[in-house]
Amino acid sequence: MKERGIDVPARTGAGGASAGAGGAPLSGITVNIGGTNVPKENVIAFINFGHSNMAGRGVSLPGTRPYFFGPTDPHGWMYHAGLGFQPAVEPKTAGDGGNMINGMVSGGPGTALVKEAAALAPDKYFVSIGFGASSAYCSQFLPGALYYNKVMAGALELKGKVTFAGIMIYLGITERHGTAADIANYPQCINKLVTAIRTDLGEPNLPLLLNDYEMGTTGPLAPVPSDAFFVAIEPKILMVPSVVSNSVIIPTDNPIIPIEDIKADEPDLHHFTLDGHKEYVRRVLATMQMKGWFPWQ
């Protein structure tokens, strides 16, 4: 029986494989991706969502554009509710209506995430389940709020049919669009949101990879002691690992993740370049390796 390209049950995976990571027996569930039946244990999915940086506003450097907008990786995929699996390419992994910057299509981290992961584990298939929305902040993603169902629709379609790797979130700097309570309660909001995702997926230990403040930001929101918002939100961001289990803050400095600076009508420049997104997801994956959260190599 097929449901959105998923065969249930099946006895073996592609090539008659009978064991998953670490030699564990396969469940018998396979997923049809691009015409290949792949055991669920070999389909590794990330839930990645957040503000406009996740939707993608990166356009440079020119030499990096083919990586994001050109040929796809046969083991790098995206999944959207109702559409199924499609090759990962920007700006489609998590894009919104703002993916055109100064006449150029812009992109985010979803494609780089699955391509870089596939380079580490070329016998697996990696999937981005992405959603980005300009100026969105944490409480808008909570269950019953504006975006939770949009984030979770694809993930819930794949529940029990893929192996979930982690939750990658770009938030923090946009809490300024909420209330004072959104800033003060940021760690608690992230905890409530991640707990809901883990509960709905039946994955109580699913890792959280959360971004630090975009330290390359320029303009009024630059991360300096004179900026009241930065002074208020940065300690809250750094508090998250003490509130949320299996969570880590991914640094955006040492060295600084590069920031786009070409959009003249945007005074608060905090969007990663394409090269910045590529470097950031490398930090995500390296952190997962270090913590033993990336067991698929």
Alpha-carbon gap, residue 275 to 258, rounded angstroms: 7
Adjacency order of strands within the sheet including 2-3: 2-3, 6-7, 30-33, 36-39
- pLDDT value of residue 235: 98
The answer to whether residue 8 scores a pLDDT higher than 60 is no
For residue 78, what are the β-bridge partners? 86, 128
pLDDT tens, residue by residue, 119-147 = 999 999 999 999 999 999 999 999 999 99
- pLDDT value of residue 14: 35
- pLDDT value of residue 145: 98
The answer to whether residue 80 scores a pLDDT higher than 90 is yes
Band of residue 297 on the pLDDT scale cut at 50, 70, 90 = confident
For residue 46, the surrounding DSSP H or E stretch is strand 43-50
**2-291 in CATH: which number?**
3.40.50.1110
The backbone region for 65, taken as left when phi is positive above 0, alpha when psi lies in -120 to 50, beta otherwise, is: alpha
- The one-letter code for the residue type at 26 is L
- pLDDT value of residue 219: 86
pLDDT tens, residue by residue, 157-204 = 999 999 999 999 999 999 999 999 999 999 999 999 999 999 999 999
